[in-house]
Structure 1
Amino acid sequence: MANVQNQEIFDLLSPVVADAGLYLEAVKVVRAGKHTSVRVIVDLESGPGGVGTDVLGDVTRAISVALDEADPVNGAYTLEVSTPGAERKLTEPRHFSRAIGHLSNVNLESEHVQGRVLSVGDDKMVLRIESKGAQEREIPLSQVRSAKVVLELKKPEGE
């Protein structure tokens, strides 16, 4: 039931989020006892950068209006709209393109590497691996088993 409801809300909100110039990453209805939350994750479609607080506020209001009009959730609920966060998992080419310029941990079929994502194509990415003297390495996305952006508390030198 929840998966059907998640998909129904996803389908309802996709054009609303797109009208705000964003990409609808995920929708999840979470029930905990008598409390229900509707969690909506939005992001930029591609490329580096972030979703500003003004844009996030605008899209949250638009999502709230759409949910109020369609009323797809029974009873009261809390609406939570956010972005994937600083340490997001990278699972599809679009995610990797959003990580350009960021340090990332990448688990491959046979090794683990950490590097800065320099570029991303349809089927590959280029990492700059600092531990190997700033070596650039092209990695087929098909070889990536898991990957995650690393939170950096200070900007790298030279940026």
Structure 2
Amino acid sequence: MAEGTVSAYDREAGWGTIVPDDGGPPVRVHQVEIRSHGEHALERGERVTFAIQEDDDGAFATAVTPLGPILSEEELARLDLVPEPEPARNGAATAATDRPEEPEKLPIWLRAAIALVAFTALPLFVIGMFQVSDGNDGGLPLLIGGVIMLTALEWIPHDRW
């Protein structure tokens, strides 16, 4: 198990970084890896033990156990553990969460109209298909209408519903 100092931790996002005592690069830590009673959160300057694993994004800490007192800002500065700058919040994905901004939803009346089209398109298609397969040419407009409506639904961005 390695030992280190928490250089940054965002309670809201549940992510932070730990600087190992052996001088290695900082490693990421997530709140689910914190082994403590009560709240699973860390404080800047807190001493911890941890194991290191690798994934596609680099090294991250597992089995993180707090050791004791939190270092003061002077002690952190002496160890050259300066706070990391906050990521710019300009509408793009934030570094702490790596989640893109959710697109603006369509107005409720338009979402209701889309739902109405969706609920009528499939029955039109199925009824038209059965009527055409039975030799009834009167079902052809239903079949074509259902195909057109289902195709039109594919053009609407689903993440805006």
Name the TM-score, length of structure 1 as normaliser: 0.23
Rg comparison, structure with higher value: 2
Higher relative contact order (CA 8 A, sep 6+): 1
Higher helix share: 2
- Normalised by the length of structure 2, the TM-score is 0.22
Q: Which has more strand, going by share of residues? A: 1
